[in-house]
Amino acid sequence: MKKIYSLLFLLTALTTLSSCTNEVDDVFDKSSAERIEETIKSYKDILVAAPNGWRMAYKTADKYGGYNVLCKFNADNTVDVANEKGDQTNGTHYQVMQSQGVLLSFDEYNQAIHRFSDPVAEVGKNGLGYEGDFEFRVLKASADTVVLEGKKHGGRIVMTPMARDSKWTDYLKGVDNMKEAMDAPRYRLSAGGKTFDCQIAYNVLKVKKEDGNILDFPFAYTDKGLDLLQADTLAGKTISGFLYSEGEAWADKNDNSVQLAPVYPPLSEAFVTGNWTLSLSKSSTAVAGLWKAIADLNARNGYPVVYAYFGTDTEFGPNFGLSLMLDNLVGQINIGYTLVDAETITFTGKTGGVEYGNAFYSQLAWKNALTTLMPGNEPGTYKIKANATKNPTEMTLTNTTNDNIVMVFDKGQILNPFN
């Protein structure tokens, strides 16, 4: 009897094994190459199927945040691309291919996307640039969302389809309008019953926590406000992005109790906490002549001025100073100051240097440039006027003892300012 039971058990096991083997054969009836080809075709079909293309919330290095890149993928492996910087290039080649998974590659140069992956110093240092990618691993693809990961830098990028009736030019104009409407020297973020001081540097909301540490929220502007590239938490609340309104504060798009409000400090404080580039055409002759001579001297010695601006730049630390990029070298000359009142500031002298800052000061004549702030290497006091009280784009500093020293500054980091 035991032998009969053993035989029956063996027959049952063999039958079960045979059944499982058939199922395995059914699952793997296609080679891995065939399966990857099917996936590649499926992903490309999804990209092409969006009738008005995709909005890419393009992630650069954490310190630079995200930018709008619009892509229309065509079946013939060409792509039309536009970005919020004003670049648009149509008809360049792309491909979806196998490379340790599925890879989306913009393999022909397209200014609108390669601007963010080129190792040039529009921002940061030469050899790095925005630290973005032009090849991306496809992590997920569906008709409503494509999730990518930069092959080199690993930035997570989400693409969503553009509305069928949306014109690209109108959307990007809306983004520009939001940048302007939401621009402020400082901000105050309210969440979980607490209030935090903030600034925006590039496309990063920098939140000062209670312990003094800075929490970075990289974001991209939209035509309705700004969206964090990835939702984050603060004071027990989820921060996802803010919708612009004409009131005094902008609510988080998912939680009205979380709000971001612009703060407009006095002019003297706005000068030292912002970024301001000297205008040679609007400054006094004495100032413009000296700065132009220094810029020309640097250029002749192989160090053309890529940028030169006063203010606080988080890339160089928390201190006020003159931030410079000469050819491919960067540095900041730190400058001490005293805020006398809302419209008066005294510059007290050089206090240090970051990276090549000390070399610029002592070896490339920038010591002389600072005499416009501190005549005779003595503290210099200036009255400040501006073209607006809340959020000026131009400031004029006039020396209180020598009205021949007048410096007019335009807001922001301006490339090649003295050409």
Task: Mark the ranges of the chain whose per-residue pLDDT is less than 70.
Answer: 1-29, 121, 124-127
What are the distances in angstroms from CA 324 to CA 108, 125, 234, 317, 367?
Answer: 33, 11, 34, 14, 13
What CATH code would you report for 169-263? 2.40.128
Identify the pLDDT of residue 212: 85
Q: 391 by DSSP, 3-state: which?
A: coil
> Which residues fall within 8 angstroms of residue 195, CB to CB, at 6 or more apart?
188, 189
Domains 32-166 and 169-263 share a fold: yes
Please report the pLDDT score of residue 18 as a whole number.
46
Residues 6+ apart with CB under 8 A from 280: 288, 291, 292, 417, 418
Class of domain 267-411: mainly beta
pLDDT value of position 28: 53
Q: What is the model's pLDDT at position 248?
A: 87
CATH of span 32-166: 2.40.128.370
Position 108, amino acid:
E
* pLDDT in the model for residue 125: 64
> Where do the structural domains in the chain lie, given as residue ranges?
32-166, 169-263, 267-411
Q: Tell me the three state secondary structure of residue 217.
A: strand
Q: What is the pLDDT of residue 355?
A: 95
CA–CA separation, 300 and 345 (whole Å): 34
- Output the pLDDT for position 108: 98
